[in-house]
Amino acid sequence: MSMIGTPLCMPDELRPLLASRTPRGRLVPSLAHVLAELRYSRLIVIGDRVTRTAFELGLEPVLAIYDCVEMRENIECPEPPSHYRREAVSNPRSSISFEAARAIRDAIRQGANTAIQVYGEEDLLAIPAILYADTGYVVAYGQPSRGVVLVRVDSYVKRLVANLLHSFEPCSASSPGKTKE
C-alpha cells in the first residue's frame, strides 16, 4: 500500500521551514568531501547538481532524481550510466504527485539503479524517498548556495518526515502544485 495515495501540496506556511532547515541531516560542502563515506552506502540523490556530481565521482546511487533545472534555469540533464533504468514522471511545483511517489517507491523496492527525470519540480521528493527507503540508506540533496544535505535514514527521521507530510494538503485547482480536477 502506498503512503502517498493522492497528490499532496505544501502549504505556504511550511515554505520558510523547509527552505531553512536540514531535517536531521548533515550539511557538507559537496559529495566529494564525503566520498569515502558514501562509496559503500545505499545512496539516493536528488537534484541535478548532486546527481551529476555523484555520477562524476563514480558513485552508483540506487536512485537518482532530477528535473534538468537549476536555480530556475533549464540546464542539460545529468547523464546516468548506461545500465540505469530510466523513468520520467510529472510532479508539479510545491507538491508530491502520486506518480512520482509511486516511481520512487518502486525503484527503491526493486533495488536496480534507476534515474527518474521529473517534469515539473523535484524539490520535495526527498520526503517520499526518506519514507520509502530502508533504514541505513543515505539521501543526499542540494541546499542552494550552501552545499549538500546528507540524511541517514533511521526510524526517527522517518517519523519526522511522516509528521511533516501530515502537514501537507490534498492539491486543489487553486494550489501552487495544482492538478487537473
Q: Which residues contact 44 (CB under 8 A, 6 or more apart)?
A: 61, 62, 63, 64, 65, 108, 129, 133, 137, 138, 139, 140
Ligand-binding annotation for 134, yes or no, is: no
What are φ and ψ of residue 10, in 5° steps?
-75, 125
Handedness of CA 42, 45, 49, 51 (dihedral sign): positive
CA nearest neighbour of 125 among 154, 105, 147, 144: 105
CA nearest neighbour of 142 among 57, 68, 45: 45
Ligand-binding annotation for 48, yes or no, is: yes
- In one-letter notation, the amino acid at residue 31 is L
The C-alpha cell of 122 is what? 523535484
Ligand-binding annotation for 12, yes or no, is: no
Q: Which helix (H) or strand (E) holds 73?
A: strand 73-74
Ligand-binding annotation for 34, yes or no, is: no
- 90 touches 97 (CB < 8 A): yes
Q: How far apart are CA 155 and CA 135, in angstroms?
A: 7
Residue ranges of the annotated binding site for GTP are 48, 50, 67, 122
Residue ranges of the annotated binding site are 48, 50, 67, 122
